Amino acid sequence: MRLAPSILTADFAQLGEQVRQAEKAGVDWFHLDVMDGAFVPNITFGPTVCQAVCRSTSLPCEAHLMVHQPERFFEAFAQTGVKRVIVQVEACPRLHFALQTLRSLGLQAGVALNPLTPLSMIEEALPFVDLVLVMSVEPGFGGQRFIPTALERIRRLRQVLDARRLSIELEVDGGINADNIRAVREAGATMAVVGSAVYSPTCSVEACVAMLRQALAESVAQ
């Protein structure tokens, strides 16, 4: 299971240090939550901060664009050093064009689904993506509770990917912590976004990552 900390709940007053701490603790990617205040009721950051994060780590970074008409910004994100851009299917009526454009810019292409968006909305897109992001919270904020019905959606998507022998990354995003990451993995996810479970006021980054790894190791033992 690959771990991708979301920097959304990191301490932005020392963002570079927070990124280095997570890299040192043994994560696999960084997940950068870009929000426009229109597709979601929150505004976060744009290409400038993404570029600063990419400069602070040797690990790959993915930009999760919770943004209307995201294709307006693909060129800008291609310049930041991110390896992958994930668009929301609900914000992308011209999805084929968006995914092809991302790949033509040398980026991996990902598509995200909000918690109640039918999986059928992305089934035709599977041949054109490198990753599917299953949202397990309503996008907009870190620190929300995991929506349990996401597990059944992950299982169904895993069945579709396996039946079609597609080696696409199945990533889950929102409310994941040491208590539920085992269930997320066993449902068929291959990658987990972890925000408040890594950047927390009560636990060091190193200890948080270790707890997540410990929880995953237990699932193998049992």
Site residues, ligand DX5 (CB under 6 A): 6, 8-9, 31, 33, 64, 66, 137, 139-140, 142-144, 173-176, 193-197
Question: CB of 162: closest distance to ligand DX5 in angstroms?
Answer: 25
Per residue, the 3-state secondary structure of 21-54, as one string, reads HHHHHCCCCEEEEEEECCCCCCECCCHHHHHHHH
Question: Would you say 64 or 182 has its CB closer to Zn ion?
Answer: 64
Cβ 213 vs Cβ 4: under 8 Å: no
CA nearest to 209, candidates 1, 64, 39:
1
Closest residue to ligand DX5, based on beta-carbon distance: 195
Structure tokens of 199?
A: 């950047």
Question: Would you say 78 or 192 has its CB closer to Zn ion?
Answer: 192
Residue 137: which of Zn ion, ligand DX5, none does it interact with, CB under 5 to 8 A by kind? ligand DX5
Active site residues: 33, 173
Question: CB of 66: closest distance to Zn ion in angstroms?
Answer: 7
Residue 9: which of Zn ion, ligand DX5, none does it interact with, CB under 5 to 8 A by kind? ligand DX5
- Dihedral of CA atoms 96, 97, 98, 101 in degrees, nearest 10, equals 120
